[in-house]
């Protein structure tokens, strides 16, 4: 094999090694449709226009990776179930601000941030706001319910979508993924990877959307 071919063959290996190193730092997991723990990968968090809806300036500190959209984005029809198997749609929350969180029991970063999501729900949860944490775990509702108990997040309602179709519908390449939705059911921004959702920055961001008229 020529030296040129050897160099070419090494490139994919070097790229894979770089991703593994980045994954160890970011704690972001590629989603794997089989429902098992997937390879961690770098958190992706683009840059939005400053001041979009007044939110960009609030995406700081532990929420610095939160991507604020320059304009609100329409979402597809999102269907899932509650813990009893009752069919639900995101449109059922229209008129409320929602923080959607996609997670699974095999996702270590999900386990780490679940208590923060629980504290956020305790702080701001009302008829105007809810943390809608949706398990995409193929193990079913029982395993997901046990996960919430183990992480001390029993105040979060159990929502499941075991077909994992919602992952593609929301265009999330990995877990956890958290999406902020306004009262009109539009996506205002998202964060891929774990974050401290009980932080003052997170609370300020959500309060800003709650304060919006319309």
For residues 87 and 64, what is the distance between their CA atoms, to the nearest angstrom? 34
For residues 12 and 93, what is the distance between their CA atoms, to the nearest angstrom? 45
Distance of CA 62 to CAs 59, 66, 85, 144, Å? Answer: 8, 9, 34, 26
pLDDT at 213: 79
Residues of the chain with pLDDT under 50: 6-8, 12-26, 31-51
Stated pTM of the model: 0.79
Closest residue by Cα to residue 110 from 101, 98, 119, 99: 101
pLDDT at 82: 96
pLDDT at 73: 96
Closest residue by Cα to residue 74 from 164, 181, 191, 178: 181
pLDDT at 2: 53
The answer to whether residues 114 and 153 touch, using CB atoms and an 8 Å cutoff, is: yes
pLDDT at 76: 94
pLDDT at 52: 57
């Amino acid at each position: 094999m020529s030296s040129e071919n050897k160099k070419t063959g090494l490139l994919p290996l070097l790229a894979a090694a770089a991703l593994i190193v980045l994954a160890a730092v970011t704690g972001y997991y590629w989603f794997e449709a089989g429902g098992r723990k997937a390879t961690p990968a770098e958190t992706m968090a683009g840059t939005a226009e400053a001041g979009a809806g007044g939110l960009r300036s609030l995406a700081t500190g532990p929420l610095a990776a939160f991507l604020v959209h320059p304009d609100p984005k329409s979402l597809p029809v999102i269907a899932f179930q509650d813990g009893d198997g009752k069919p639900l749609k995101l449109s059922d929350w229209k008129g409320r601000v929602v923080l959607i969180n996609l997670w699974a029991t095999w996702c270590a970063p999900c386990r780490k941030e679940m208590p923060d999501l629980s504290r956020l729900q305790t702080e701001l949860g009302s008829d105007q706001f809810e943390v809608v944490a949706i398990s995409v775990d193929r193990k079913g509702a029982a395993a997901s319910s046990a996960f919430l108990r183990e992480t001390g997040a029993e105040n979060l309602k159990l929502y499941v979508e075991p077909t994992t179709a919602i992952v593609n519908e929301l265009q999330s390449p990995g877990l956890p993924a958290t999406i902020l939705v306004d009262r009109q059911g539009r996506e205002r921004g998202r964060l891929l990877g774990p974050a401290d959702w009980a932080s003052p920055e997170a609370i300020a961001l959500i309060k800003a959307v709650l304060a919006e008229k319309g």
